[in-house]
Amino acid sequence: MMKLISIAMLMLAYCPMAEAKLRTVVIDPAAGGDYTGVQTRLFYEKDASLHIAQKIQSLLKSKRIQTTLTRFDDYPLTHAERISIANQEKEAVWLSVHLGQALGASHIDIYTLDTLPSQRRETNFLIPIEKAHQPWISRSILFANTLQETMPPALQPTLIHSDLAIASLLGVNHPAVMIEINLDTQTMQPAVFQNLLDELSERISIAVATFIKKERKL
């Protein structure tokens, strides 16, 4: 009951308004195809990340927020192919969804890129890949903070501002965050796992909508 009240309060924080910026939310479910990602007794990462992405997309569409996925089914994509989908959008926000097996208690890590060491790389991007995201660092941190505030405290959501070249974020020319949901699945029941995925999907959709609302005021 308290969980439902908590989610309801979060939903009230977002009131649809005319958008000053028509951001397309690009959701990137990890893995796909022959690459299953993390495998546990309850999930393959490629399937669970797609389930979450599709659920978030449905919830955001109900809020009239334009949304797309990097993949809509079980097939492989390179990091360059994924990121190019976001960079084709004039105004977008990027969310890469990953799942892992927690070594201890279940927890959530939320990643953004910090200023990267200067590196010259040969890429297909029009500007050096490590420079593409630099103008969006502060808004990415705002997005990450909003996600952290919306996640269940019991999952210890932690912000990580990384100066490492995280492939799921590197080169994104928009506000960008990677969320990694690390679950202790050894004793978790399948029904509990499924309910948790659905709850997190709802909370993430609320965080995305709230971030878009906050950004209008900048």
Q: Give the 3-state secondary structure of residue 179.
A: strand
Q: What is the pLDDT of residues 110-158, one digit of tens each?
A: 999 987 655 444 444 445 666 778 899 999 999 999 999 999 999 999 9
pLDDT tens-place string over residues 46-71? 999 999 999 999 999 999 999 999 99
Tens digits of residue pLDDT in 72-110: 999 999 999 999 999 999 999 999 999 999 999 999 999
Counting beta carbons within 10 angstroms of the beta carbon of residue 212, is it exposed (0 to 12), middle (13 to 18) or buried (19 or more)? Answer: buried
Q: Which helix (H) or strand (E) holds 110?
A: strand 107-113
pLDDT at 8: 45
- For domain 22-216, the CATH class is alpha beta
The gap from C-alpha 133 to its chain's centroid, in whole angstroms, comes to 16
The span from the CA of 213 to the CA of 63, in Å, is 12
Query: What count of other Cβ atoms lies within 10 Å of the Cβ of residue 127?
Result: 11
Q: Cβ-count burial of 2 within 10 angstroms (0-12 exposed, 13-18 middle, 19+ buried)?
A: exposed
The structural domains of the chain, with segments of one domain joined by +, span 22-216
* Confidence (pLDDT) at 122: 44
Q: 3-state class of 43 per DSSP?
A: coil
**Helical spans, DSSP H, in the chain:** 2-12, 45-62, 79-87, 137-150, 190-216
To 10 degrees, what angle do helices 137-150 and 190-216 make?
140
| Residue 85, phi-psi category: left (phi > 0), alpha (psi -120 to 50), beta (remainder) | alpha
**Radius of gyration for the alpha carbons in the chain, expressed in angstroms and rounded:** 17
pLDDT of 167 above 60: yes
Compute the distance between CA of residue 207 and CA of residue 202 in angstroms, rounded to an integer: 9
